[in-house]
Amino acid sequence: MYEYEVKYYDGQSSRSRNAFLLLRDSHWQLIFRDENDEEQSTRWEIDQIKQNDMGSALNTFHYGDFPHQSVEIEDPTFIDDLKQKYPGLDFVNKNYHRVLTGGWKVMAGLVALTILLFALFAFVIAPNSAALIAGQIPRSFESKLGENGYQVFMTTAEEDAKRSLLVNRFAKQMDFDTDYPIRITVVESDEVNAFALPGGRIVLFSGLLDKMGSAEELAGLLGHEVGHVKHRHSIKAQMRSLSTYLFVSLLLSDVNGVTAVLMDNAKMLSNLSYSRKLEHLADEEALAVLQKNHISQSGLVDLFRTLQGEAGKEPEFLKFLSSHPLTQDRLDFAKKAAAKQRGEQENLELKAIWERIETEGKKESELPG
Ligand SMILES: [Zn+2]
């Protein structure tokens, strides 16, 4: 026989219809009347029928892809009939079934697995793919991203054109050992700050320039910022602070997904902070650049002392230190290197340009307003 009165849901509306269910060898046949009271028949293939096993008193089965059609069968003999009609066939999704009824061991296992996957992502996959992707991003994109961040920043900043020219002339006298085009913009601001953008732009605030006392300090600062450029630190720091948005792209190592998010957030490039590890790398670059140019590495030590000595006096001083955290380790590292340095020479050209930068700075501060 294998015929049952059932409630049928078509998956489109929530209303049920009374229907007849017939169990055939390869499928179930459902016969019901539609809105126009015409008889309809639908066919469910056996391999796509699943039993809901949520402990409901009613036996509910659904069919195919979402939105599911489903039937409710109240007939108490139905489950036994199924076993007879289709021996060896299990309508319940076995894995699903085990999780729901397998008790605490299965649940504990799942929780442990989830924690393991998160740890794997947070400590292994994300950092590695971030570094990998930062390396894969093409130079042309890097320049565009940096340019974008620069344009956004400059809409609210005022350039000190004279000192920009002089600082660029200063930088041209140095060999930074890079093929990134290094371009420096000095902006008028009391903030003691400087930052590097992807692609080679560096923004130097007059507040920091005014506090520096020598050509060597400026050379040290430029070496440090160029270090951030060379190692693509701003892209890495940007990726780190956007990691929630980049989750899927990082997981898939999807460069295009990552670059789209970075470009959308280019305005944050002027306000990134670096990890201690990246700061240490930039310091190493600065020391190497100073050495290559026969400039005293004590310039970097003096720069740190300037920042450290002034820190706390005015809130503006915290800006550079919060984006480039200065630790005792960094100071000690630079001191040790400077103490061992050989071959430094006084560079008269740099000194002359530095004096002009200082003179311009004094003129600026004498201007009214
Ligand atoms: Zn830094």
Residue 174 lies in a domain: yes
Q: Is residue 117 part of a domain?
A: no
Which pair of structure tokens corresponds to residue 6? 């059932």
Tell me: do 159 and 270 sit in the same domain: yes
Residues 184 and 280 in one domain: yes
**Structural domain contains residue 118:** no
200 and 338 part of one domain: yes
**Where residue 10 sits, what CATH number does that domain have?**
2.30.29
How far is residue 64's CA from residue 296's CA, in Å, rounded to a whole number?
75
Ligand 1 centroid to Cα of residue 324, in Å, is: 4
* Residue 114 placed within a domain: no
Number of domains in the chain: 2
- The answer to whether residue 300 sits within a structural domain is yes
The structure tokens listed for 279 are 């700061």
What pLDDT is recorded for position 101? 56
pTM, full prediction: 0.67
Residue 303 lies in a domain: yes
Is residue 269 scored above 70 in pLDDT? yes
Q: Does 181 lie in the same domain as 320?
A: yes
Q: How far is the CA of 145 from the centre of ligand 1 (A)?
A: 19
**Cα–chain-centroid distance for residue 211?**
34
Domain residues for 185? 138-366
What spacing in Å lies between the alpha carbon of 92 and ligand 1's midpoint?
59
3-state secondary structure string across 246-288 = HHHHHHCCCHHHHHHHHHHCHHHHHHCCCCHHHHHHHHHHHHH
> Ligand 1 centroid to 320 CA: how many Å?
8
How far does the centroid of ligand 1 lie from the alpha carbon of residue 82, in Å? 71
Please check whether residues 162 and 30 belong to one and the same domain. Answer: no
Instruction: Calculate how far, in angstroms, residue 163's C-alpha sits from the geometric centre of ligand 1.
Output: 22
The answer to whether residues 202 and 338 belong to one domain is yes
Render pLDDT for 321-360 as a digit per residue (tens, 0 to 9). 777 877 788 889 999 999 999 999 999 999 999 999 999 9
Residues 41 and 188 placed together within one structural domain of the fold = no
CB 214 within 8 A of CB 232: no
Determine, yes or no, domain membership for 207.
Answer: yes
DSSP-based three-state secondary structure for 242: coil
Q: For residue 145, which phi and psi values (nearest 5 degrees)? A: -60, -45
199-225 pLDDT tens trace: 999 999 999 999 999 999 999 999 999
Distance 222 CA to ligand 1 centre (A): 10
Instruction: State in Å: Cα 280 to ligand 1 middle.
Output: 8
* pLDDT at residue number 16: 86
Residues with a beta carbon under 5 angstroms from ion ligand 1: 279, 282, 324
